[in-house]
Amino acid sequence: MNAIAERPRLSYPSLAPLRTILAAGGWANALILLGMGAGPLLVLIGLQPDTASNLGLMLSAVFTMFWAMLAGARLIALTVHAARLRLPHTGRQALLCGLAAAVLVVLVPALIMTMATGGGFALAAAALAAATALGLFWVSMPPWMMWVLIASGVAARWLPGSLDDATARAWLGSPLFIAALAALLFAASASCWWWIARRPRPQGTWSTPMALALPADGRGSLEQAQQANWNSPLFALDTPIGSALHREPQQALAIALGPGFGRGTLRNVLATQGPIVAVALFWLLLGNTTGGRGHIGLAFAPLMVLSTAFAPMIRLQTLFWRPALGLHELALLPGLPARPAPSLAAQLGRQAIVRSLPALAVMAGFGLAVDAPRGYYLMLGWTCAGSLFLMSGATLLSLRSRPGRWACAALVVALILGLMATMLATMRGDPPSWLHTAWSLVLIAGVLLQGAALARLRALPHPWLQN
């Protein structure tokens, strides 16, 4: 009787690629929605339609690139593991997922932005396609190719002739040129996939693309895969324990927390800051300017500094989100500090500061190399300090709350928008005084959040146990 009364579940195989794309994007799907609304929001706050269209398209392209890095890595890993297991119709499913991504991430946002801001549909679609291709290429290429790109930039600077600003703006505003660039990036990603398919499974750290760095065999739970990611040579750097660890409880806590918290050895510092130095060199070799108003890399300088400082915060959130990674066992280890709550907050702050200071020096040196405006240096330090304190306090305050973690993610997106808008205003000359006041308020809010989070952790029976 129950079997007759129960309604059969409807299955729509044609919607499988759409569901796969949405599942692969995860929380990053919100970036696509935010990118679609950036242009209309800029129009509502009073910007000129042309300015709002261009700035909104640039922000949407940045968000789309990050989406492609996350969702693309997951889809590439899924396809590679399915091919290794010889599952049927793997190639067809990958092609359908690619078509669904082109519609959801490129065509639909380009159409919405065109209708809202009055810009060109061809330029918007080409720019979003190029951003998607760049994100896919970044997670598909082997890490050693980064040095090839830097060497290619050096060789390009030695070529005869130069590209003036008018020609560069004309090329960047040409949908045909940007579409050709997107096709070239897609072809480069396809060549990387062909190279991955022909390589044997055991690969070194510098030969394993970022998309395949998570699980090496495609088996195991999410917790096991994430722990394998943290234990890979890309993250788990040299952390010497020493013989007197029982007399150094702070160091014991740092090592027990895992990658991102251990000893700050010279090798760790060089490995952490290596990508920042490589990006700065790559920017210098490209020589990209924005109409004489400064290098475009200046707008992303605070994001580069904070990207290294956020690693301990991400690790701490991961431990509280997935306690099976060893959070509960951490309370049973001997030799930890007697006051765990202040020690946990101190470790997070110490690691964030130690990681951010060298990157801040690199970005300041980059500013000197490209003759940045005088206000750039003060604004760089002020924005990084305010963002760092605010995110550290928000992280400590949201460790035991799932809605708090989503609020942290929303705060990160808001900080990214605020940082880029602030640095773009700084590149035009002296920033308005209210920007300094705004970031001072952000810094004060971060300090207050730190105090509130520490008081909340002290009130708990244990900072990282649920009972």
pLDDT mean for each 10 residues of the chain (467 residues): 47 69 81 79 69 79 86 84 80 86 89 80 89 88 77 64 62 82 89 77 68 51 45 46 60 70 68 77 64 68 85 80 70 71 82 86 88 85 90 86 82 83 78 83 90 83 65
Cα 113 → chain centroid: 24
pLDDT computed for residue 448 by the predictor: 92
CB atoms within 10 A of CB 273: 17
Token digits of residue 197:
């398919």
Phi-psi label, residue 326: left if phi above 0, alpha if psi -120 to 50, beta otherwise: left
Token digits of residue 398:
């949201």
Phi-psi label, residue 240: left if phi above 0, alpha if psi -120 to 50, beta otherwise: beta
What is the C-alpha to C-alpha distance for residues 466 and 328, in angstroms, rounded to an integer? 9
**What is the secondary structure of 376-440 as a DSSP string?**
HHHHHHHHHHHHHHHHHHHHHHTTT-HHHHHHHHHHHHHHHHHHHHHHHHHHTSSPPHHHHHHHH
pLDDT computed for residue 234 by the predictor: 41
Q: Is residue 326 within 8 Å of residue 258, measured between CB atoms? A: yes
Cα 305 → chain centroid: 12
Backbone CA torsion sign across 318, 416, 171, 157: negative
pLDDT computed for residue 294 by the predictor: 62
Q: Is residue 308 within 8 Å of residue 356, measured between CB atoms? A: yes
pLDDT computed for residue 243 by the predictor: 55
3-state SS, residue 289: strand
SS3 content of the chain, % helix, strand, coil (to 5): 75, 0, 25
Cα 337 → chain centroid: 33
CB atoms within 10 A of CB 80: 20
What is the C-alpha to C-alpha distance for residues 275 and 297, in angstroms, rounded to an integer? 15
Encoded amino acid at 163, one letter? L
pLDDT computed for residue 312 by the predictor: 82
- The dihedrals phi and psi of 12, each to the nearest 5 degrees, come to -120, 90
pLDDT computed for residue 229 by the predictor: 47
C-alpha distance from residue 8 to each of 13, 18, 19, 205, 442 (Å): 15, 22, 20, 48, 54
pLDDT computed for residue 260 by the predictor: 65
H helices, E strands: number in the chain:
19, 0
Pseudo-torsion of CA 195, 201, 203, 206, nearest 10°?
Answer: 40
Q: pTM of the predicted model, to two decimals? A: 0.63
pLDDT computed for residue 168 by the predictor: 63
